[in-house]
Amino acid sequence: MSPSDRRTFLRGAAGAAAAFALQPELLARPPRFAAPLAVGVIGTGRQGRALLGELAKFEDVTVAALCDVDPSRLASAARRAPGAATYATHAQLLAEATLDAVFVATPTHLHVQPARDALDAGRHVFCEGPLASTLDDCRALALAARASERVFQVGLQGRSDPIYGLARSFVRSGAIRDVLSLRAQAHEKTSWRTPASDPAREAALNWKLDPALSLGLIGELGTQQFDVVHWFTNDYPVSVRASGAVLAWPDGRDEPDTAACEFVFPKGVRLAWDATLGNSFEGTFEQFVGTMGTVKLAWNAGWLFKEADAPTQGWEVYANREKFHDDEGITLIADATKLAAQGKLKEGVGLPHPPLYYAVEAFLKSVAEGAPVVCTAEEGLRATAVALAARRAQREGVEVAIDPASLQVDGR
């Protein structure tokens, strides 16, 4: 590295460290808006209820309407949002409720119609990720979002996570230098099955286990993580191999409960990703391995593992460190310098809210204040298209080339 390159690198790394000076109390305190917002939630299953929990933290936001085709889930959600009108169809909700924005949290294969209809009705839209279950539906939503003057945000949460934002500035500044490999996993001990006495209701509740409807582990979990890699590297894979099997829950399901993918990026860097519903060890994380260090992210926490020959930037003296077997990681903490001076460094570890909160907050700021959309429909399309390619590779047992045209809204 030449002296000028080294100076540029150090300035960039120092800038990334300076970005850590976010006030922890500002991360914890929900913002106030100039005018109150009325919102609706379409789909009140597990994710819809999680959204209601986060929306309740905002004083200037009222959940005015709820919609679900399942009466039991709708009644449960109504208890969490007292005063909200309830509807059996999204068409009724959009026609009768006075709303600024809607949150679409239906099953993935049912995203497209309520999201498009909400845009047509002049509502801002937060659409959960993955964007849709087919490339055609992804494109339809992306085109509708492009043509609309309303805010459209996809719920891919890494782009609004404060720790991920800090870590990205670190990686993009060259702090870990050249990226050599990428790794990610999503491990959770759960069956994904919801019992019900009525066969039709049980089938509807367990759509994730139906290969004809579901994007499986690769789509429902992987899309979130693939988007993180796209955002950090500003690149997209060119091919993928994938596999999957029922190993943990042999209960008659056809949808794999354990899956793995290997993506190849343009310069030869590979992403190894795996997921399982049979084990929770190490949970969910993404890992960026570079010639000068490794960044590991786990949604509400992050760490930097520096190589012995990595340059020192000075801020390390304030760092909180954690041991991982034989390695020592520097915890990525907001406002590390100030907290160290107060002897409260460890109090800054982690986030005061779950990642979903920050995605909701970002959307509300876009609606109320005109803030830039953190995850556009076009990026949602790209992450979902990558997942769809991996899904095909898993089903067919072949390496699938990812056509760059498949990542574009117009297909060209």
22-81 per-position pLDDT tens digit: 445 556 789 999 999 999 999 999 999 999 999 999 999 999 999 999 999 999 999 999
- Kindly write down the DSSP assignment for every residue of 26-48, as one continuous string: HHHSPPP-SS-EEEEEE--SHHH
User: What does the pLDDT average to over 322-341?
Assistant: 62
Query: Who wins on pLDDT, 94 or 334?
Result: 94
- The whole-chain average pLDDT of the chain stands at 89
Which pLDDT value is given to residue 344? 41
For residue 85, pLDDT beyond 90: yes
In this structure, what DSSP letter does residue 104 have?
Answer: E
Which pLDDT value is given to residue 396? 97
Query: Who wins on pLDDT, 311 or 73?
Result: 73
User: What does the pLDDT average to over 178-182?
Assistant: 97
Query: Who wins on pLDDT, 263 or 316?
Result: 263
CATH code that applies to domain 3-24+159-373+384-396: 3.30.360.10
Which pLDDT value is given to residue 217? 98
Computed over its alpha carbons, how large is the radius of gyration of the chain? Answer: 22
User: What does the pLDDT average to over 192-217?
Assistant: 95
- Strand-pairing partners, residue 242, are 261
The pLDDT confidence band at residue 21, using thresholds 50, 70 and 90, is: very low
Tokens representing residue 24 in the block = 């922890």
For residue 299, pLDDT beyond 50: yes
User: What does the pLDDT average to over 71-98?
Assistant: 97
For residue 2, pLDDT beyond 60: no
Number of Cβ within 10 Å of residue 207's Cβ equals: 18
Query: Who wins on pLDDT, 303 or 384?
Result: 384
H-helix or E-strand containing 85? Answer: strand 85-87
For residue 156, pLDDT beyond 90: yes
Angle between helices 71-80 and 46-55 (to 10 degrees): 10
Lowest-confidence segment of 42-56, 201-215, 268-282, 332-346 by average pLDDT: 332-346
Q: To the nearest whole percent, how much of the chain has pLDDT over 90? A: 79
User: What does the pLDDT average to over 120-143?
Assistant: 98
In this structure, what DSSP letter does residue 319 have?
Answer: -
365-407 per-position pLDDT tens digit: 999 999 999 999 999 999 999 999 999 999 999 999 999 999 9
Domain boundaries, the chain: 3-24+159-373+384-396
The pLDDT confidence band at residue 328, using thresholds 50, 70 and 90, is: confident
Instruction: For 307-410, list the strands marked E by DSSP.
Output: 321-324, 327-331, 400-401
For residue 392, give the 3-state DSSP assignment. Answer: helix
Query: Who wins on pLDDT, 315 or 303?
Result: 303
Whether 222 and 284 have beta carbons less than 8 Å apart is answered as no
The pLDDT confidence band at residue 13, using thresholds 50, 70 and 90, is: very low
For residue 315, pLDDT beyond 70: no
For residue 342, pLDDT beyond 90: no
User: What does the pLDDT average to over 358-371?
Assistant: 98
For residue 327, pLDDT beyond 50: yes
Which pLDDT value is given to residue 170? 86
What gap in Å lies between CA 213 and CA 109, rounded to an integer?
6
Q: Look at the alpha carbons of 330, 331, 333, 339 in this order and tell me if their dihedral is positive or negative.
A: negative
For residue 6, pLDDT beyond 70: no
Give the global pTM.
0.90
